């Protein structure tokens, strides 16, 4: 059993473009997980990268009728691509919008997306998009879902970020992928994040700042490269993919930082748009 991880957006805070950003990309957070055995897909967040993902789904000859999008939180850079997600305009599809985890203050998931698509902001409203939507708010720390007779377990952990954000652990048949973005550890690594990532095959972790940059960014809700590596080391993960790149960090900067990270943790890389990993 193999899971394909494909990055469609790896930038944090705001999309960016220009010749010095081509290698790592400028779209905001969107990650696709595909179970290659079942040909089933889950999408993590709906930043601007989801536009290209939507085009790929529509071009897929397997024509996945049901799509699930799991949200870490609802800051603009994690939902702003949703109005441009082409499958949402297809009346043959059903889209599940999922949040999992205890302690959420948000009570109406649908309203978040309806609000950003009001007439004053966008020409098409949520109810007129075409696809059938089901909004799932699961107030649990973990849940097991059955897909085509096979079980996948998703565990959620609330971590420090302005307004709150959640990391997720996806497990199936002994394979595990952890997505932990928009997290600020502070002075000490959050032990709950380490527990969530324990022995994971792949940890995808936020590292928007260098240690030096973080001194003036405290309270902004993000981690450093050193902290991402420390979580990977403490949790004993097999591979680390760093994402949520700062819009001020161009290709030259990120390539240099990747080498420094690999000197400390060899199975580490910085995520790039369209990059695919197999777990």
Q: Quick one: average pLDDT of 77-88?
A: 97
Cβ(114)–Cβ(102) below 8 Å: no
Cβ-proximal residues to 97 (8 Å cutoff; 6+ apart), any chain: 69, 71, 109, 110, 113, 133, 134, 135, 136
| Average pLDDT of the residues in 241-254 | 98
Reported confidence tier of residue 245, pLDDT bands at 50, 70, 90: very high
Judged against a pLDDT cut of 60, whether residue 148 lies above it is answered with no
Encode pLDDT of 152-193 as tens digits.
Answer: 899 999 999 999 999 999 998 889 999 999 999 999 999 999
Q: How much of the chain, in percent, has pLDDT values that exceed 70?
A: 97
pLDDT band at 149 (very low <50, low <70, confident <90, very high): low
CA 101, distance to chain mean position in Å, is: 15
User: Which CATH number, 3.30.365.10, 3.30.428.10, 3.60.15.10, 3.40.50.720, labels domain 3-278?
Assistant: 3.60.15.10
DSSP codes, 186-249? TTS--HHHHHHHTT-SEEEEE--B-HHHHTT-TTSS--BHHHHHHHHHHHT-S-EEEE-B-TT-
Mean pLDDT score of the chain, rounded to an integer? 94
The pLDDT, as a whole number, for residue 63 is 62
How far apart, in whole angstroms, are the C-alpha atoms of residue 124 and residue 219? 36
Q: What is the per-residue pLDDT across 193-220, written as a single tens digit (0 to 9) for each?
A: 999 999 999 999 999 999 999 999 999 9
Q: d(Cα 262, Cα 255) in Å, to the nearest integer? A: 11
Q: What is the mean pLDDT of residues 70-74?
A: 97
State the pLDDT confidence band at 229, using cuts at 50, 70 and 90. Answer: very high
Q: What pTM did the predictor assign?
A: 0.96
């Amino acid at each position: 059993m193999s899971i394909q991880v494909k990055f469609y957006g790896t930038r944090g805070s705001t999309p960016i473009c220009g010749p010095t950003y081509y290698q790592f990309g400028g779209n905001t957070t969107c990650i696709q997980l595909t179970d290659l055995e079942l040909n089933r897909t889950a999408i993590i967040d709906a930043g601007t990268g989801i536009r290209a993902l939507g085009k790929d789904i529509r071009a897929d000859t397997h024509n996945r009728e049901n799509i699930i999008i799991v949200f870490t939180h609802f800051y603009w850079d994690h939902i702003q691509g949703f109005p441009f997600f082409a499958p949402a305009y297809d009346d043959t599809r059903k889209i599940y919008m999922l949040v999992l985890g205890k302690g959420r203050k948000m009570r109406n998931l649908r309203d978040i997306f309806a609000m950003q698509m009001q007439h004053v902001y966008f020409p098409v409203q949520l109810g007129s998009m075409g696809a059938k939507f089901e909004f799932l708010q699961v107030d649990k720390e973990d849940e097991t879902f059955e897909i085509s007779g096979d079980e996948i377990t998703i565990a959620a952990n609330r971590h420090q970020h302005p307004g709150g954000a959640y990391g997720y652990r996806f497990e199936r048949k002994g394979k595990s992928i952890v997505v932990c973005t928009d997290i600020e550890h502070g002075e000490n690594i959050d032990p709950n994040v380490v527990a969530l990532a324990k022995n994971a095959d792949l940890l995808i972790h936020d590292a928007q700042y260098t240690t030096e940059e973080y001194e003036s960014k405290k309270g902004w809700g993000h981690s450093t490269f050193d902290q991402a590596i420390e979580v990977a080391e403490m949790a004993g993960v097999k591979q680390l993919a760093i994402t949520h790149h700062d819009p001020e960090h161009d290709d030259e900067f990120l390539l240099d930082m990747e080498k420094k990270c690999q000197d400390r943790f060899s199975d580490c890389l910085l995520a790039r748009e369209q990059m695919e990993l197999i777990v």
